[in-house]
Amino acid sequence: QAALQYGPTEGFAPLREWVAARLSRDGATIRPGQVLITTGSQQGLDLLGKVFIDEGSKVLVETPSYLGALQAFSLFQPTFSAMRSDAQGIVVEALDDAQLDGARFMYCLPNFQNPTGRRLPLERRRALVEKAARAGVLLVEDDPYGELCYSGEALPSLLSMNPEGVVYLGSFSKVLAPGLRLGYVVAPEAVLGKLIQAKQAADLHTPSFSQRIVHETVQDGFLDDHIPGIRALYARQCELMLQALERHFPAQVGWNRPEGGMFVWVTLPPGMDSGALLARAIERNVAFVPGAPFFATDPQSNTLRLSFVTVPGERIDRGIQVLGELLAQALAGHAGLAA
């Protein structure tokens, strides 16, 4: 009966305790009182916007950045400041005092970022946390893909390096079931109190039924047995896509080789428009996400995001073959894909 009744805004206490204990394995001491269960981690982004962003507020984001975060924050009319990034993520030494001054927070995905799949190296994580703390800027660490590491060692979270200066967003969508719409926010208690107030005004609490289902599933170590299987499957899918790209894409096209996550980031030759490519690809039953919307400023229309996790291997190869044919035609001058 309790699963069908109202519950506390903060979330189901045993699930909050489980989240705190799991994150504490990463080296930080997280208390259940720092955990807020949300209706998907996407709600956490919305709550951060409500609490921290006024019209014109400066918000620092990666280049490119997660589209869902840009959409959530944009409702509150911030001024986005794009942090310089390269193939490894944020270039911390390029962050100067002028860019940091007055920023409400700095938003990043250190692990297998959406859309690029890149992972921020350990030394940059330390430098980023130190620079943010020195400047008094809150770090928002979005980490839906951290468990999906296929090669290399797991790296410590920004949260573990400075629990009092980081707001951490986690999700059950990528390791359990996205349809449950269950995520969580970990924050210093002063910040969490404001997020709880905003959530209470929005939806009172995350559905009790979903919270209890997830807690019942994870409490006895299910994820520790389940996640290795997901990693193995997605790693195979990723390798299939990378092999298909090698076989079918023209030499003028570049892409990354992710160590985890769900995405491959593709860069087309300058002047090509991935939006125009998408229109032609859809005619042949192939889809991807154009890259331009992932940029808060100065969109790069010659980029695109591919996902390898939910498509059977033979369809991955066929889809990449179709895209390769369309790109080859465009490069040969037979189809207009100009930006």
pLDDT, one tens digit per residue, over 214-239 is: 999 999 999 999 999 999 999 999 99
Confidence (pLDDT) at 338: 62
Q: Give the pLDDT band (50/70/90) at residue 335.
A: low
**How far, in Å, are 129, 170, 323 from residue 111 at the CA level?**
15, 12, 27
Percent of the chain surpassing pLDDT 90: 90
Residues 120 and 117: their CA atoms lie apart, in Å, by: 10
Cβ–Cβ contacts within 10 Å for residue 88, how many? Answer: 12
Confidence (pLDDT) at 336: 59
Report whether CATH 3.40.50.1100 matches the domain 13-220. Answer: no
13-220 and 224-338 in the same fold: no
Confidence (pLDDT) at 274: 96
Residues 262 and 116: their CA atoms lie apart, in Å, by: 9
Q: Give the pLDDT band (50/70/90) at residue 2.
A: confident
Bridge partners, residue 103, by sequence: 58
Q: Are 278 and 290 in contact (CB under 8 A)?
A: yes
**What counts of helices (H) and strands (E) characterise the chain?**
11, 13
Residues 127 and 136: their CA atoms lie apart, in Å, by: 14
**What would the DSSP string read from start to end of 242-306?**
HHHHHHHS-TT-EE---SBSSEEEEEPPTTB-HHHHHHHHHTTT---EESGGG-SSS--TTEEEE
- 170 pLDDT more than 70: yes
Confidence (pLDDT) at 150: 94
- 255 pLDDT more than 70: yes
Mean pLDDT over each residue of the chain, to the nearest integer = 95
Residues 327 and 337: their CA atoms lie apart, in Å, by: 9
Confidence (pLDDT) at 34: 97
Fold of 224-338: Aspartate Aminotransferase, domain 1 (3.90.1150)
pLDDT in tens, 90-115: 999 999 999 999 999 999 999 999 99
- 1 pLDDT more than 90: no
As a whole number, mean pLDDT of residues 333-338 equals 63
- 201 pLDDT more than 70: yes
Residues 81 and 27: their CA atoms lie apart, in Å, by: 31
As a whole number, mean pLDDT of residues 159-182 equals 94
Confidence (pLDDT) at 42: 96
Q: Give the pLDDT band (50/70/90) at residue 313.
A: confident
As a whole number, mean pLDDT of residues 55-80 equals 98
Spans of all domains in the chain = 13-220, 224-338
Cis ω on the peptide bond leading into residue 14 (within 30° of 0)? no
Q: Give the pLDDT band (50/70/90) at residue 332.
A: confident
